[in-house]
A and B are shown apart, each in its own frame.
Chain A
Amino acid sequence: MATQAHSLSYAGCNFLRQRLVLSTLSGRPVKIRKIRARDDNPGLRDFEASFIRLLDKITNGSRIEINQTGTTLYYQPGLLFGGSVEHDCSVLRSIGYYLEGLLCLAPFMKHPLKIVLRGVTNDQVDPSVDVLKATALPLLKQFGIDGESFDLKIVRRGMPPGGGGEVFFSCPVRKVLKPIQLTDPGKIKRIRGMAYSVRVSPQMANRIVDSARSILNKFIPDIYIYTDHMKGVNSGKSPGFGLSLVAETTSGTFLSAELASNPQGQGAAVLPEDLGRNCARLLLEEIHRGGCVDSTNQSLALLLMTLGQQDVSKVLLGPISPYTIEFLRHLKSFFQIMFKIETKPCGEELKGGDKILMTCVGVGFSNLSKTLK
């Protein structure tokens, strides 16, 4: 373990997860100061504390120090251990918030991670479990992370503010990652979706489907939107509905969009027809951005390229998000990796906006925690 490594220092609560995740993977401790220092309610929030507890559960020998006001956090990572874990996520953020961190770490555990996460499965802030299942899992497969045990399942659906959802995630471990060459996004051959509703009329989902189809049918005939109406204990504690859409291309690219209804007691009631149409338009926006990786998964792709074997990896992206830009800076700090960034103008082609080609040479990270057989 790199306990003697010089620690990196940051300020503020933003990008907390990427800092902790990269710290864990690189073995470099981090110190984060001034966490909401000027806020009326300073320090770490419950959902962040819950994320830190989760990291503690899946690692062995991590050292976590938080000052009395919660405005300063010191994290010295231990070894990624994995195994069977259960975790109650804070309902202030959805399970997607926690899952995004786990997707980065799970392939590098000593024992394959099998985790039950409880909380909110779908909200308006973070990528939902449905979207991560449909986009992040196929992306991990491109890097050679695959197998029978690779699974992400929604056991119970839970909407905010009450939550009550449950998710099962299991991921195989790999010693090394394959480099990728994702430069051709291919063409969209079908659109799939999931219209869900809990504790409201099941008719809501059907109304969402019809309105979303009315827009997408102008582009492609192969559209299928499943409806999912979980009942009883499987429907969580709060009513709500929503839609996630995924466009799949001939070369295995998955682009997604999603919308959820306002949480009970917050904001005006949303009409399912409006939600369906707006979500379809968001998918068209995502298609316009384009690239070989969905905008929410950009940083996951760049991380796995960085950790790949010492070989060239390339990926074509749409415009890079502010979250990804910060992630690239962090990759430079933690792994001394800088990407070559080239703009590919759209020109005369009818394929949306300008694209960006990202190239790097992997650091040749190998999973030392993994038990040899």
Chain B
Amino acid sequence: GDKHARPSRRYHGQKPGSKDLIEETSDIEDLLKKEEDYKEENNYSTETSGAVKWKEDLSRKAAEAFLRQQQAAPNLRKLVYGTVTEDAEDDDRDGQEELGGLFHIRQPDGGCKYKADALDCSRFPVQAPHNWDLEEVMNSIRDCFVTGEWEEDKDAAKILAKDDE
């Protein structure tokens, strides 16, 4: 991930101890702490209570969803800003390759080479279209419509009535 690291290093250099970074780091630490706490809780319940089967499954599912979210979030951040704030320092050390102690190897900025002269367009084309003739694909967006299922805390009739006014 060296090529992604470059912009952030610059950021680091310009603004040591910037507010954003500190906030971010503490955010991530908080999340990690929560994650640890969660696991412990999970073990506790399965060992002692001998709870009903579906409950066990539920907590496992929740834990998996949580982990998935944890993994996805830093990746997205890395994709956008070049690096996750945590491992920025590690990247500082490597990536400084030298040839004969004189020339630095120039690394292309995060994949910029192929897109630097590409079409400047805000449209976001669909990469892998779904087959909207399939019932299950159609069902995947059913609840985006007023005709679909409503969350319990929302009274469909009330919202729609208010809308007509």
Task: Determine if A219 and B122 form an interchain contact, defined as CB atoms under 8 angstroms apart.
Answer: no
The answer to whether A127 and B147 touch (CB under 8 A), given A14-B115, A39-B117, A350-B140, is no
The answer to whether A338 and B24 touch (CB under 8 A), given A188-B146, A323-B121, is yes
Task: Determine if B69 and A285 form an interchain contact, defined as CB atoms under 8 angstroms apart.
Answer: no
Nearest chain B residue, comparing its CB with the CB of A100 = B122
- Chain B interface: which of A60-68, A82-90, A288-296? A288-296
What per-residue 1/0 map shows which CB atoms of B124-159 lie under 8 Å from chain A? Answer: 101001101000001111111111111000000001
Contacts of B81 in A (CB 8 A): 328-329, 332, 338
Cα of A299 to Cα of B129 in the assembled complex, Å: 23
Task: Determine if B141 and A351 form an interchain contact, defined as CB atoms under 8 angstroms apart.
Answer: yes
Q: Is B41 an interface residue (CB 8 A)?
A: no
Cα of A239 to Cα of B101 in the assembled complex, Å: 64
Cα of A34 to Cα of B122 in the assembled complex, Å: 22
Task: Determine if B122 and A250 form an interchain contact, defined as CB atoms under 8 angstroms apart.
Answer: no
Q: Is A213 an interface residue (CB 8 A)?
A: no
Interface residues on B, range: 35 or more
Q: Is A159 an interface residue (CB 8 A)?
A: no
How many A residues touch B, CB cutoff 8 Å? 64
Task: Determine if B112 and A15 form an interchain contact, defined as CB atoms under 8 angstroms apart.
Answer: no
Which of these, A14, A125, A188, A342, contacts B145 with CB under 8 Å? A188
Task: Determine if A126 and B7 form an interchain contact, defined as CB atoms under 8 angstroms apart.
Answer: no
Most buried by B among A218, A295, A332, A350: A350
Nearest chain B residue, comparing its CB with the CB of A285 = B126
Which of these, A97, A219, A287, A343, contacts B76 with CB under 8 Å? A343
Task: Determine if A287 and B141 form an interchain contact, defined as CB atoms under 8 angstroms apart.
Answer: yes
Task: Determine if B69 and A345 form an interchain contact, defined as CB atoms under 8 angstroms apart.
Answer: yes
Which of these, B11, B118, B124, contacts A295 with CB under 8 Å? B124
Interface residues of B in 36-90 (CB under 8 A from A): 65, 68-69, 72-73, 76-77, 79-82
Task: Determine if B69 and A343 form an interchain contact, defined as CB atoms under 8 angstroms apart.
Answer: yes
Interface residues of A in 161-197 (CB under 8 A from B): 185, 187-189
Contacts of B24 in A (CB 8 A): 338, 340
Contacts of B141 in A (CB 8 A): 219, 284, 287-288, 290, 350-352
The answer to whether A341 and B77 touch (CB under 8 A), given A284-B132, A285-B130, is yes
Task: Determine if B116 and A11 form an interchain contact, defined as CB atoms under 8 angstroms apart.
Answer: yes
Which A-B residue pairs are the 3 nearest by beta carbons?
A: A12-B116, A321-B124, A343-B72
A residues lining the B interface (CB < 8 Å): 11-17, 34-36, 38-39, 97, 100, 125-127, 185, 187-189, 215, 218-221, 250, 281-282, 284-285, 287-288, 290, 295-296, 298-299, 319-325, 328-329, 332, 336, 338-345, 347, 349-352, 354, 356
B residues lining the A interface (CB < 8 Å): 7, 11, 15, 18, 20, 24, 27, 65, 68-69, 72-73, 76-77, 79-82, 112, 115-124, 126, 129-130, 132, 138-150, 159-160, 163
